Amino acid sequence: MELENIVANTVLLKAREGGGGNRKGKSKKWKQMLQFPHISLCEELRQTIEKDYHSLCEKQPIGCTLFRQFCDTRAELRRCVKFLDAVAEYEVTPDQKRRECGQEVINTYFSPKSEDHVPEIVEDMVNECAQRLEAEGVQGALQGVHQTDP
């Protein structure tokens, strides 16, 4: 591992050296590699990139991080992100603890009396999730409640 680091550092230093003299650390090759393409070359790419929640916030790690940072600036959005995290936690909870975890999610985020109540979840979905938790037990009680499509 250490030998690989030494080799990588040596290659980096050689690349930075470039032609020597006043250009140390400013290799022409590196400068060309790091240069952005002309805007006219990016227009087609701009049209083809998906600009929806799933693409920006779930597929791209940086998009997810930026989205969460934005949501942390507003209390109503922070509640929604906490809810999504709780549902994700519910989905990976072992079966023997899943009913308890599901009930906690329902009490915390579905109850209008709760401080973390998420009013965006419609009453029909709340009732359906509660019924599924009682009837089916642990499997799929909160399924579909966190979908992003309207």
Q: Give the model confidence (pLDDT) of 29-56 as tens digits.
A: 777 778 888 888 888 888 888 888 888 8
Structure confidence at residue 150 (pLDDT): 43
For domain 75-135, give the fold.
Answer: Regulator of G-protein Signalling 4; domain 2 (1.10.167)
List pLDDT tens digits, range 55-114: 888 788 888 888 889 999 998 899 999 999 999 898 888 888 888 888 898 899 988 888
Residue 22 structure tokens: 């006043």
Structure confidence at residue 82 (pLDDT): 92
Exposure on the CB side of residue 122, measured as CA atoms within 13 A: 6
More confident of the two residues 89 and 3: 89
Model-level pTM? 0.58
Structure confidence at residue 141 (pLDDT): 58
